[in-house]
Structure formats: C-alpha cells, structure tokens
C-alpha cells in the first residue's frame, strides 16, 4: 500500500437528535471520491471517535467500506491509551473490511519510547492489514522519536507515518530514509502541506478537504509534480481557511464550515461545543471570499489556456 495525495479525515455527521447521519456520511464519501481524493480516514480525531459507542463505530466502518467499495483505501482510526483496547478495536476494524489502521500514539499515560514500540508491536502482531503511525505530540504529550519510528517503519506492514510534530528536522530525517524502508510520510496539518511535501512527504491527511477536496487535490498534485508556482498559488489561496479551521479545537471549525454550506455535519458531541458566534462569522467571511477567489482563479486559467 502506497499512501499519497489527499486523504480526507472525515467528520462524523450527526442528525439533529445526535444520532449518526448515515445518509450524510454516504453523501460525503461519494463527494470526496468524485473530487479525486486518494483515501479516507474514518474514526479519527476529526471523526470524534472518542465520543462514539462500539455499535456506532461498527456502523460507520461498515457503511464506509460498503460505500467506497474498494475505489480508494478506507483507513480506520483505532488508537487508544490502552493497548488491549487498541488491539481489540484494530481487530474489529480488520474484520469489518478496513484497508488499513491509523494508530495514534497512546495519550495521557506518557509512555517511554520502549512503551510506544511495545504498544505498536502488540497491535502489529495481532493484525494482518497495513498500519499507519500517527505522531501528534500536541494531543498525546509524547513524541515518537525518529529512531523509534524507524524501528517500527522497518516492519513490512507499517506503511506510513502521519507526522504532526511540527519538527521539520524530524520530518526530513524520516523522509530521507522512506524510500529505502518503503514507507511514506504524510502531513497531518493542512497548513504544512506545502513545506512538508517540498521536503519530500507524499501527501496530507487533511481536515480542510472535508470542505474543499478539489482545492486540496490541486495543491497536492502541484507539489507532487514539482510545480512550485501553482502550489504556492493554492497554498496562499487556502491559507486563511487553514487558519480559520484552527481557531478552535478540531473538529469544531470544520463542522461549523460544513454547516454553513449546508453539507452533512451536525454539531459536535460534548465535551466539544458549538463554535463561538464571532468565529463563525469570521469563518463565513473566509468561505465567501474563498469561493470568489477560486472562481476568479479558474476563470484566469481558462482565459490563459484559450490564448495559448
């Protein structure tokens, strides 16, 4: 499995009575595939996995796998700070048809590097499908150090690492050895897509692509083809949106954005709350400006192509 391009970390849409919006989930999946994304992550941070029951998790996996029907990989988040729970959820995802697992480093416990290795190896030995490591010390309070990551990435079914450390020296070291060890490095931060792919990362697990999948695909494709000018155009076009989507804890802003354009989302479950009114107003202005700017960009492209 070679993970690359834009992989959307899907929100979990809820109905007004706080149940899973199955119809909305199917619509979102179809729109993502139509836009050309390379994969989907369900039950991640953006999908509010910690607030879902076992039955809801199973329903989302089944629905996603059935809807995608093999067109792109379905990657299921199964991270936990309890190794036995992580193994159990990983086996469940595997049995329900997941193509790969996304495993965040254990949070709160603050394990040593040896503990991280033992945790991932336990899951690896129990399962048979590819695994993506997820390093996000801002949420877990522990960094997966380069030497530790390489020890795990040398295993044949650990195929990628989602890097959100913000440490570009660490990213560079991981990228440098990725070809030799046959894994890919993915950004987990939309705003870092350009610098990280410029360093040699292979794509992004994106939150923003819930809202603008086509724009994120254009950005990633331009970077993959080393078209730096085009990539910069898209980066700066989307920069204000990236900033607005980080005003409050993910996925509060992306759900607010989807609700503003009447796409399936619903509200976040507690303990996450609704976006503040002032931030929602700012987000609405960003989206309105973005629509105008993208329309003007495509108009300019069409005019240029017509004159060539």
Considering the domain boundaries, does residue 199 fall inside one?
A: yes
Mean pLDDT of the 140-146 span: 96
Domain containing 57 equals 5-227
CATH of the domain at 138: 3.20.20.70
The residue from 66, 128, 162, 236 that is catalytic is 162
Considering the domain boundaries, does residue 112 fall inside one?
A: yes
Q: Does 23 qualify as catalytic in the annotation?
A: no
Domain count, the chain: 1
Q: Does 168 qualify as catalytic in the annotation?
A: no
Q: What is the pLDDT of residues 202-221, one digit of tens each?
A: 999 999 999 999 999 999 99
Q: Of 55, 54, 118, 46, which is closest to residue 75 (Cα–Cα)?
A: 46
Confidence band (pLDDT; 50, 70, 90) for 28? very high
Considering the domain boundaries, does residue 82 fall inside one?
A: yes
Residue 134: per-residue pLDDT:
98
pLDDT over 90 (residue 308)? no
Q: What is the CA radius of gyration of the chain?
A: 19
Residue 1: per-residue pLDDT:
85
**Cα–Cα dist 85/49, whole Å:** 13
Considering the domain boundaries, does residue 268 fall inside one?
A: no
| pTM more than 0.85 | yes
Considering the domain boundaries, does residue 123 fall inside one?
A: yes
The residue from 134, 168, 236, 282 that is catalytic is 134
Q: What is the 3-state secondary structure (H, E, C) of the chain?
A: CCCCEEEEECCCCECCCCCECHHHHHHHHHHHHHHCCCEEEECCCCCCHHHCCHHHHHHHHHHHHHHHCCCCCEEEECCCCCHHHHHHHHHHHHHCCCCEEEEECCCCCCCCHHHHHHHHHHHHHHCCCCEEEEECHHHHCCCCCHHHHHHHHCCCCEEEEEECCCCHHHHHHHHHCHHHHCCEEEECCHHHHHHHHHCCCCEEEECHHHCCHHHHHHHHHHHHCCCHHHHHHHHHHHHHHHHHCCCCCCCHHHHHHHHHCCCCCCCCCCCCCCCCHHHHHHHHHHHHHHHHHHHHHHHHHHHHHHHC
Considering the domain boundaries, does residue 273 fall inside one?
A: no
């Amino acid at each position: 499995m070679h993970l690359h391009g834009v992989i959307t970390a899907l929100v979990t849409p809820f109905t007004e009575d706080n149940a899973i919006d199955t119809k909305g989930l199917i619509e979102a999946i179809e729109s993502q595939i139509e836009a050309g994304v390379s994969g989907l992550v369900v039950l991640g941070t953006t999908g509010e996995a910690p607030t879902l029951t076992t039955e809801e998790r199973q329903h989302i996996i089944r629905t996603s796998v059935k809807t995608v029907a093999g067109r792109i990989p379905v990657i299921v988040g199964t991270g936990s700070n309890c190794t036995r729970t992580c193994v159990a959820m990983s086996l469940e995802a595997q049995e329900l048809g997941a193509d790969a697992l996304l495993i965040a480093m254990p949070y709160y416990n603050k394990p040593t590097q040896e503990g991280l290795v033992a945790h991932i190896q336990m899951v690896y030995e129990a399962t048979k499908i590819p695994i993506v490591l997820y390093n996000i010390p801002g949420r877990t309070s522990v960094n997966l150090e380069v030497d530790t990551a390489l020890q795990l990435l040398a295993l044949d079914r650990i195929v990628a690492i989602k890097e959100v450390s913000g440490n570009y020296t660490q990213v560079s070291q991981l990228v440098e050895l990725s070809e030799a060890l046959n894994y890919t490095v993915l950004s987990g931060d939309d705003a870092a897509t350009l610098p990280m792919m410029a360093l040699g990362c292979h794509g992004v697990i994106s939150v923003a692509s819930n809202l603008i999948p086509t724009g994120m695909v254009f950005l990633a494709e331009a970077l993959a083809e080393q078209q730096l000018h085009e990539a910069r155009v898209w980066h700066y076009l989307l920069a204000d949106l990236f900033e607005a989507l980080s005003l409050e804890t993910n996925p509060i802003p992306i759900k607010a954005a989807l609700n503003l354009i009447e796409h399936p989302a619903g509200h976040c479950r507690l303990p996450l709350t609704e976006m503040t009114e002032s931030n929602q107003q700012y987000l609405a202005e960003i989206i309105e400006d973005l629509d105008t700017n993208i329309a003007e960009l495509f108009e300019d492209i069409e005019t240029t192509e017509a004159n060539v």
